[in-house]
Amino acid sequence: MTNWPEGPATPGSERSFLQEHGYLVARGLVPADVCTRAKEAFLSEIKPSDDAFMRQTTTRAERHNLSEYGLMTNPMLDVHNIQTHLPFTEAVLGVFTHQSLQATLNELLGDQPVMVQSMYFESSRGTDAHMDSHFMDTEERGALLGAWIALEDIDVLGGRFCVYPKSNRLLEDGAFEPQITQLARAYEDQSVSVIQGYQLHGKSFSLKEVTKTRKYLMSLIRASGVEPYAPALNCGDVVFFSSRTLHGSLKPGSSELTPGLLGQGAGSYSRHSLTCHWIPKNQGLVFYHAIRDPLQLVSRHGTLFRQSP
Protein backbone atom coordinates (compact mmCIF):
# COMPACT_ATOMS: atom_id res chain seq x y z
CA MET A 1 0.00 0.00 0.00
CA THR A 2 1.15 3.52 -0.80
CA ASN A 3 2.08 5.75 2.14
CA TRP A 4 -0.21 8.63 1.21
CA PRO A 5 0.41 12.12 2.60
CA GLU A 6 -2.27 13.66 4.81
CA GLY A 7 -1.83 17.14 3.42
CA PRO A 8 0.59 19.49 1.69
CA ALA A 9 4.20 19.82 2.79
CA THR A 10 3.83 23.60 2.61
CA PRO A 11 1.11 25.21 4.77
CA GLY A 12 -1.24 27.42 2.81
CA SER A 13 -1.58 25.12 -0.21
CA GLU A 14 -4.35 22.92 1.19
CA ARG A 15 -6.77 23.76 -1.62
CA SER A 16 -4.24 22.75 -4.28
CA PHE A 17 -3.54 19.52 -2.40
CA LEU A 18 -7.26 18.73 -2.29
CA GLN A 19 -7.65 19.39 -6.01
CA GLU A 20 -4.68 17.15 -6.80
CA HIS A 21 -5.31 14.26 -4.39
CA GLY A 22 -9.08 14.45 -3.86
CA TYR A 23 -8.85 14.53 -0.06
CA LEU A 24 -7.23 16.34 2.88
CA VAL A 25 -6.73 15.13 6.47
CA ALA A 26 -6.94 17.90 9.08
CA ARG A 27 -5.74 16.72 12.49
CA GLY A 28 -7.51 18.04 15.59
CA LEU A 29 -9.46 20.59 13.58
CA VAL A 30 -12.51 20.49 15.86
CA PRO A 31 -11.77 20.59 19.62
CA ALA A 32 -12.23 17.22 21.32
CA ASP A 33 -14.64 18.61 23.92
CA VAL A 34 -16.96 19.91 21.19
CA CYS A 35 -16.96 16.49 19.50
CA THR A 36 -17.44 14.63 22.78
CA ARG A 37 -20.43 16.84 23.60
CA ALA A 38 -22.11 15.78 20.34
CA LYS A 39 -21.40 12.10 21.01
CA GLU A 40 -22.73 12.30 24.57
CA ALA A 41 -25.87 14.10 23.36
CA PHE A 42 -26.47 11.26 20.90
CA LEU A 43 -26.06 8.65 23.64
CA SER A 44 -28.35 10.46 26.09
CA GLU A 45 -30.95 12.03 23.76
CA ILE A 46 -31.12 9.92 20.61
CA LYS A 47 -29.96 6.38 21.35
CA PRO A 48 -32.65 5.63 23.99
CA SER A 49 -35.43 7.18 21.88
CA ASP A 50 -38.12 5.15 20.11
CA ASP A 51 -38.76 8.03 17.71
CA ALA A 52 -38.44 7.55 13.97
CA PHE A 53 -35.60 9.60 12.48
CA MET A 54 -34.73 10.24 8.84
CA ARG A 55 -32.19 7.69 7.63
CA GLN A 56 -29.35 8.05 5.16
CA THR A 57 -29.81 4.66 3.52
CA THR A 58 -33.56 4.91 2.85
CA THR A 59 -34.36 8.67 3.12
CA ARG A 60 -37.33 7.60 5.26
CA ALA A 61 -38.18 8.10 8.92
CA GLU A 62 -37.37 4.87 10.75
CA ARG A 63 -36.53 3.69 14.25
CA HIS A 64 -33.04 2.52 15.14
CA ASN A 65 -31.67 -0.70 13.68
CA LEU A 66 -29.26 -2.14 16.22
CA SER A 67 -26.48 -4.65 15.66
CA GLU A 68 -25.96 -7.67 17.89
CA TYR A 69 -23.70 -5.41 19.94
CA GLY A 70 -26.37 -2.74 20.37
CA LEU A 71 -24.87 -0.24 17.90
CA MET A 72 -27.06 1.81 15.56
CA THR A 73 -26.39 0.67 12.00
CA ASN A 74 -28.86 2.86 10.07
CA PRO A 75 -27.18 6.29 9.94
CA MET A 76 -29.28 9.35 10.69
CA LEU A 77 -29.87 11.91 7.93
CA ASP A 78 -29.91 15.72 8.20
CA VAL A 79 -29.28 15.80 11.92
CA HIS A 80 -28.85 19.59 11.77
CA ASN A 81 -32.61 19.86 11.11
CA ILE A 82 -33.92 17.70 13.98
CA GLN A 83 -36.45 19.75 15.98
CA THR A 84 -37.62 17.15 18.50
CA HIS A 85 -34.34 16.69 20.38
CA LEU A 86 -32.86 20.17 20.55
CA PRO A 87 -30.00 19.42 22.98
CA PHE A 88 -28.65 16.95 20.41
CA THR A 89 -29.24 19.34 17.51
CA GLU A 90 -27.42 22.15 19.31
CA ALA A 91 -24.52 19.83 20.10
CA VAL A 92 -24.01 18.80 16.46
CA LEU A 93 -24.43 22.41 15.36
CA GLY A 94 -21.58 23.19 17.72
CA VAL A 95 -19.40 20.94 15.56
CA PHE A 96 -20.66 22.16 12.18
CA THR A 97 -20.42 25.85 13.05
CA HIS A 98 -17.09 25.76 14.88
CA GLN A 99 -14.86 28.55 13.64
CA SER A 100 -11.90 26.30 12.77
CA LEU A 101 -14.06 24.05 10.58
CA GLN A 102 -15.73 27.04 8.94
CA ALA A 103 -12.42 28.76 8.23
CA THR A 104 -11.03 25.63 6.57
CA LEU A 105 -14.19 25.11 4.50
CA ASN A 106 -14.07 28.73 3.37
CA GLU A 107 -10.49 28.28 2.24
CA LEU A 108 -11.11 24.98 0.44
CA LEU A 109 -14.33 26.10 -1.27
CA GLY A 110 -13.13 29.60 -2.07
CA ASP A 111 -16.47 31.01 -0.94
CA GLN A 112 -18.87 31.05 2.01
CA PRO A 113 -19.79 27.41 2.76
CA VAL A 114 -23.39 26.17 2.70
CA MET A 115 -24.21 22.83 4.31
CA VAL A 116 -26.60 20.81 2.18
CA GLN A 117 -26.63 17.48 4.04
CA SER A 118 -25.51 15.91 7.31
CA MET A 119 -25.41 12.41 8.79
CA TYR A 120 -24.64 10.79 12.14
CA PHE A 121 -23.01 7.35 12.38
CA GLU A 122 -22.58 5.19 15.46
CA SER A 123 -21.67 2.17 13.37
CA SER A 124 -22.48 0.80 9.91
CA ARG A 125 -22.33 -2.38 7.92
CA GLY A 126 -19.75 -0.91 5.58
CA THR A 127 -20.27 1.32 2.56
CA ASP A 128 -19.23 0.39 -0.98
CA ALA A 129 -16.96 2.81 -2.80
CA HIS A 130 -18.91 5.49 -4.67
CA MET A 131 -18.80 9.11 -5.84
CA ASP A 132 -21.10 11.58 -4.10
CA SER A 133 -21.43 13.44 -7.39
CA HIS A 134 -23.77 10.73 -8.67
CA PHE A 135 -26.21 11.58 -5.88
CA MET A 136 -25.65 15.31 -5.37
CA ASP A 137 -23.23 17.90 -6.65
CA THR A 138 -22.91 21.51 -7.68
CA GLU A 139 -24.06 22.78 -11.06
CA GLU A 140 -20.39 22.98 -11.95
CA ARG A 141 -19.69 19.37 -11.08
CA GLY A 142 -16.97 18.62 -8.59
CA ALA A 143 -17.27 21.67 -6.34
CA LEU A 144 -19.29 19.93 -3.60
CA LEU A 145 -17.08 19.01 -0.64
CA GLY A 146 -17.59 16.26 1.93
CA ALA A 147 -16.25 16.27 5.48
CA TRP A 148 -15.99 13.20 7.72
CA ILE A 149 -15.59 14.24 11.38
CA ALA A 150 -14.46 11.78 14.07
CA LEU A 151 -16.33 12.26 17.35
CA GLU A 152 -14.14 9.69 19.11
CA ASP A 153 -10.90 7.82 18.49
CA ILE A 154 -11.86 5.38 15.72
CA ASP A 155 -10.58 1.87 16.37
CA VAL A 156 -8.94 0.02 13.50
CA LEU A 157 -11.84 -2.47 13.67
CA GLY A 158 -14.54 0.19 13.93
CA GLY A 159 -15.21 0.42 10.19
CA ARG A 160 -12.86 3.22 9.20
CA PHE A 161 -13.65 5.79 6.53
CA CYS A 162 -11.54 5.39 3.40
CA VAL A 163 -10.82 7.41 0.27
CA TYR A 164 -9.19 6.48 -3.04
CA PRO A 165 -6.50 9.14 -3.57
CA LYS A 166 -6.51 10.83 -6.98
CA SER A 167 -9.72 9.08 -8.02
CA ASN A 168 -11.26 12.56 -8.23
CA ARG A 169 -9.31 12.97 -11.48
CA LEU A 170 -10.50 9.79 -13.20
CA LEU A 171 -12.94 11.81 -15.32
CA GLU A 172 -10.39 14.51 -16.10
CA ASP A 173 -8.95 14.47 -19.63
CA GLY A 174 -5.21 13.82 -19.55
CA ALA A 175 -4.98 12.78 -15.89
CA PHE A 176 -5.08 9.06 -16.75
CA GLU A 177 -4.71 7.05 -19.94
CA PRO A 178 -7.61 7.65 -22.38
CA GLN A 179 -9.02 4.14 -21.88
CA ILE A 180 -9.16 4.74 -18.12
CA THR A 181 -11.06 8.00 -18.58
CA GLN A 182 -13.44 6.24 -20.98
CA LEU A 183 -14.03 3.49 -18.42
CA ALA A 184 -14.65 6.11 -15.70
CA ARG A 185 -17.29 7.76 -17.88
CA ALA A 186 -18.94 4.41 -18.56
CA TYR A 187 -19.06 3.74 -14.81
CA GLU A 188 -20.54 7.17 -14.14
CA ASP A 189 -23.18 6.77 -16.87
CA GLN A 190 -24.21 3.37 -15.50
CA SER A 191 -24.25 4.53 -11.87
CA VAL A 192 -26.25 7.69 -12.55
CA SER A 193 -28.71 5.77 -14.75
CA VAL A 194 -29.42 3.30 -11.93
CA ILE A 195 -29.79 6.08 -9.35
CA GLN A 196 -32.09 8.14 -11.59
CA GLY A 197 -34.21 5.08 -12.33
CA TYR A 198 -34.76 4.43 -8.63
CA GLN A 199 -35.01 8.02 -7.39
CA LEU A 200 -36.77 9.76 -10.29
CA HIS A 201 -38.54 7.19 -12.45
CA GLY A 202 -40.01 4.85 -9.84
CA LYS A 203 -38.11 1.80 -11.02
CA SER A 204 -37.80 -1.12 -8.65
CA PHE A 205 -34.44 -2.11 -7.19
CA SER A 206 -32.60 -4.18 -9.78
CA LEU A 207 -29.87 -6.47 -8.46
CA LYS A 208 -28.78 -7.04 -12.06
CA GLU A 209 -28.19 -3.32 -12.69
CA VAL A 210 -26.49 -2.78 -9.31
CA THR A 211 -24.20 -5.73 -10.00
CA LYS A 212 -23.40 -4.27 -13.41
CA THR A 213 -22.48 -0.95 -11.77
CA ARG A 214 -20.19 -2.71 -9.29
CA LYS A 215 -18.48 -4.60 -12.10
CA TYR A 216 -17.79 -1.30 -13.89
CA LEU A 217 -16.41 0.11 -10.65
CA MET A 218 -14.17 -2.88 -9.91
CA SER A 219 -12.85 -2.80 -13.48
CA LEU A 220 -12.13 0.91 -13.11
CA ILE A 221 -10.31 0.46 -9.80
CA ARG A 222 -8.18 -2.38 -11.17
CA ALA A 223 -7.35 -0.65 -14.43
CA SER A 224 -6.53 2.73 -12.89
CA GLY A 225 -4.56 1.40 -9.93
CA VAL A 226 -6.31 3.65 -7.41
CA GLU A 227 -6.33 2.11 -3.94
CA PRO A 228 -8.11 2.69 -0.64
CA TYR A 229 -6.54 4.82 2.07
CA ALA A 230 -8.11 4.56 5.53
CA PRO A 231 -6.26 6.97 7.83
CA ALA A 232 -6.31 6.38 11.57
CA LEU A 233 -8.58 9.11 12.93
CA ASN A 234 -8.86 10.45 16.47
CA CYS A 235 -11.49 12.63 18.09
CA GLY A 236 -11.62 15.99 16.29
CA ASP A 237 -9.83 14.84 13.13
CA VAL A 238 -11.54 15.68 9.83
CA VAL A 239 -11.17 14.19 6.34
CA PHE A 240 -12.28 16.48 3.52
CA PHE A 241 -13.00 14.88 0.14
CA SER A 242 -14.20 15.91 -3.31
CA SER A 243 -17.61 14.89 -4.64
CA ARG A 244 -15.72 13.05 -7.39
CA THR A 245 -13.45 11.13 -5.03
CA LEU A 246 -14.24 7.44 -4.66
CA HIS A 247 -14.80 6.78 -0.97
CA GLY A 248 -16.63 4.46 1.40
CA SER A 249 -16.16 2.75 4.73
CA LEU A 250 -14.74 -0.57 5.79
CA LYS A 251 -17.00 -3.13 7.43
CA PRO A 252 -16.74 -3.16 11.23
CA GLY A 253 -14.21 -5.80 12.19
CA SER A 254 -12.06 -5.36 9.09
CA SER A 255 -9.16 -3.23 7.95
CA GLU A 256 -7.78 -2.43 4.51
CA LEU A 257 -4.79 -4.67 5.12
CA THR A 258 -6.56 -7.68 6.59
CA PRO A 259 -10.11 -7.78 5.19
CA GLY A 260 -12.76 -9.91 6.80
CA LEU A 261 -13.79 -10.56 10.37
CA LEU A 262 -10.86 -10.50 12.75
CA GLY A 263 -12.12 -12.59 15.64
CA GLN A 264 -15.02 -12.82 18.05
CA GLY A 265 -16.47 -9.44 19.01
CA ALA A 266 -14.78 -7.67 16.11
CA GLY A 267 -18.00 -5.79 15.28
CA SER A 268 -18.39 -4.38 18.77
CA TYR A 269 -16.36 -1.22 18.07
CA SER A 270 -18.27 2.00 17.42
CA ARG A 271 -17.33 4.80 15.02
CA HIS A 272 -19.22 7.84 16.29
CA SER A 273 -18.83 10.39 13.51
CA LEU A 274 -20.54 13.10 11.51
CA THR A 275 -20.51 13.34 7.74
CA CYS A 276 -21.54 16.58 6.08
CA HIS A 277 -21.63 17.97 2.55
CA TRP A 278 -20.95 21.59 1.67
CA ILE A 279 -21.12 23.74 -1.45
CA PRO A 280 -19.89 27.27 -2.21
CA LYS A 281 -22.63 29.86 -1.79
CA ASN A 282 -22.22 30.95 -5.42
CA GLN A 283 -23.05 27.44 -6.73
CA GLY A 284 -26.39 25.72 -7.25
CA LEU A 285 -27.18 22.23 -5.95
CA VAL A 286 -28.16 19.41 -8.33
CA PHE A 287 -29.44 15.93 -7.44
CA TYR A 288 -28.76 12.85 -9.61
CA HIS A 289 -27.25 15.00 -12.41
CA ALA A 290 -30.82 16.07 -13.20
CA ILE A 291 -32.80 17.99 -10.55
CA ARG A 292 -31.81 21.51 -9.53
CA ASP A 293 -32.64 22.21 -5.88
CA PRO A 294 -34.25 25.59 -5.07
CA LEU A 295 -31.93 25.86 -2.04
CA GLN A 296 -33.91 27.47 0.73
CA LEU A 297 -31.30 28.53 3.27
CA VAL A 298 -31.42 29.19 6.99
CA SER A 299 -28.67 30.75 9.11
CA ARG A 300 -27.72 29.10 12.41
CA HIS A 301 -24.93 30.49 14.56
CA GLY A 302 -23.66 32.41 11.54
CA THR A 303 -23.50 29.36 9.25
CA LEU A 304 -25.76 28.72 6.24
CA PHE A 305 -27.72 25.45 6.02
CA ARG A 306 -30.07 23.98 3.43
CA GLN A 307 -33.57 23.75 4.85
CA SER A 308 -34.78 20.20 4.26
CA PRO A 309 -38.19 19.85 2.53
| pLDDT in single tens digits along all 309 residues of the chain | 688 999 998 888 999 999 999 999 999 999 999 999 999 999 999 999 999 999 998 999 999 999 999 999 999 999 999 999 999 999 999 999 999 999 999 999 999 999 999 999 999 888 899 999 999 999 999 999 999 999 999 998 888 999 999 999 999 999 999 999 999 999 999 999 999 998 998 888 788 999 999 999 999 999 999 999 999 999 999 999 999 999 999 888 766 544 444 444 556 889 999 999 999 999 999 999 999 999 999 999 999 999 877
Does 13 reside within a domain? no
Instruction: Report the pLDDT value the prediction gives residue 212, as an integer from 0 to 100.
Output: 96
Does 302 reside within a domain? yes
CATH code where residue 122 lies: 2.60.120.620
Question: The domain containing residue 111 runs over which residues?
Answer: 23-165+227-256+266-306
Does 207 reside within a domain? no
Instruction: Report the pLDDT value the prediction gives residue 94, as an integer from 0 to 100.
Output: 98
**What is the separation of C-alpha 25 from the centre of its chain, rounded to a whole number of angstroms?**
14
Instruction: Report the pLDDT value the prediction gives residue 101, as an integer from 0 to 100.
Output: 99
Does 85 reside within a domain? yes
Instruction: Report the pLDDT value the prediction gives residue 256, as an integer from 0 to 100.
Output: 57
Number of domains in the chain: 1
Does 173 reside within a domain? no
Torsion of CA 18, 24, 28, 30, to 10 degrees: 60
DSSP string, the chain: -----SS-SSTT-HHHHHHHHSEEEETT-S-HHHHHHHHHHIIIIITT----EEBTTTSSEEPPPB-TTS-B-S-EE-GGG--S-HHHHHHHHHHHT-HHHHHHHHHHHTS-EEEEEEEEES--S-EEEE-GGGTEEESSTT--EEEEEESSPPPTTS--EEE-TTGGGTTSTTTS-HHHHHHHHHHHHHHHHHHHHHHTS-PPP-HHHHHHHHHHHHHHHHHH----B-----TT-EEEEETTS-EEEPPTT--SSS-S--STTGGG----EEEEEEEETTS-EEETTTEEE---EEEETTEEEEPP-
Task: Note the pTM of the prediction, 2 decimals.
Answer: 0.95
Instruction: Report the pLDDT value the prediction gives residue 261, as an integer from 0 to 100.
Output: 43
Does 218 reside within a domain? no
Does 237 reside within a domain? yes
Instruction: Report the pLDDT value the prediction gives residue 262, as an integer from 0 to 100.
Output: 45
Does 1 reside within a domain? no
